[in-house]
Each structure stands twice: as structure tokens, then as C-alpha cells.
Amino acid sequence: MTKVKTCFFLAAIALFSACQQTEDEKAAPLMSKIDSLYHAGDYQATLNAITRLRANHPKAIKSREKALIIWQDASLKMTQNDIGRTDSALQATIRQLGQEHDLYKRNMLRVKRDSLQVRYDALCGTVRVIHKRQQQD
């Protein structure tokens, strides 16, 4: 009789443990949202959703691995967009600098140009780092 109870108890435990969702299954709705945000081009919201995934589902290893790839791609695209805006502002400032005759305004444009150039160089460095990490993975 005790063997029957033990077998029944073990079978019940196996049944209940098999019915529970894995961490990756629990994270699936958020991964779906992350994919849709990424494909919609909303990269900042994508990064925010990945941060929530990391906080809420720390044991969802497969989901987090997929999210890491999306994180790198979204970061890369955001940085490339920022490089484009910074380069446009830099070129416009350089054109203004060539046309300005007032010494004070020229000096202020030089400060702006230098600031934009430093920002541009830093963003290009960020892209290089992201590319290097993508090659490592």
C-alpha cells in the first residue's frame, strides 16, 4: 500500500512540474513585444523592453541570448542615426563658419564645431565597439 502511495505521489509531482511554464515561455510575450518594437524602428523602446526582460526574467537564458543580439542591433542603429544627425549639424556649422564675419559669432561657431566633432568621433568609436562585440558573439 505504501508503494502505491509513493508511486502516486511521485506521479503527481511529475505531472505538476511538467505543467509549469519554463522561464523562456514566461518571457515569450515580452520577447514578442521586443521583436515588434525593433521591427517598427522604435529602438529606445526596444532597449527599455529588453531591460525589463532582464529584470523580470533573469533565468530565461534563451530569451536573454536573443535579446542581447537585438540589443546590439538596436544600439547600433540608434548610434548610426545619431551619427547622421551629428554629421549634418557639423557640416551646417562648418558652412556657417565660412560665411560668418563677426569675430564673436565665429568663435562660438568654432566651439560648436569642436563639440560636434568630438561627439561625432565618440559615436564612431561606439559603432566600432558594437561591431567588435558582434563579431565576438
pLDDT (tens digit per residue) in 83-120 = 999 999 999 999 999 999 999 999 999 999 999 999 99
Residue 136's pLDDT band, with cuts at 50, 70 and 90, is confident
With contact defined as beta carbons under 8 Å apart, do 32 and 69 qualify? no
**Whole-number Å distance between alpha carbons of 14 and 117:** 63
Q: Is 73 helix (H, G, I), strand (E, B) or coil?
A: helix
What pLDDT is recorded for position 108? Answer: 98
Residue 21's pLDDT band, with cuts at 50, 70 and 90, is confident
What pLDDT is recorded for position 85? Answer: 98
Mean pLDDT, the chain, rounded, equals: 90
**Whole-number Å distance between alpha carbons of 122 and 90:** 14
pLDDT at 13 over 90: no
What pLDDT is recorded for position 74? Answer: 96
> 46-66 b/e with 16+ CB inside 10 Å = b?
bbebbeebbeebeebeebbeb
What pLDDT is recorded for position 10? Answer: 62
pLDDT at 17 over 90: no
Q: Which of 129, 45, 118, 101 is nearest to 53 (CA)?
A: 45
Model's pTM, two decimal places?
A: 0.75
Distances in whole angstroms, Cα of residue 124 to Cα of each of 74, 78, 83: 15, 12, 7
Q: Looking up cell 526582460, which residue turns up?
A: 53
**Whole-number Å distance between alpha carbons of 84 and 124:** 11
In terms of Cβ atoms closer than 10 Å to its own Cβ (0-12, 13-18, 19+), residue 3 is exposed
pLDDT at 79 over 80: yes
Looking from the CA of 91 toward its CB, the CA atoms found within 13 Å total: 6
What pLDDT is recorded for position 23? Answer: 83
Least confident range from 3-7, 43-47, 66-70: namely 3-7
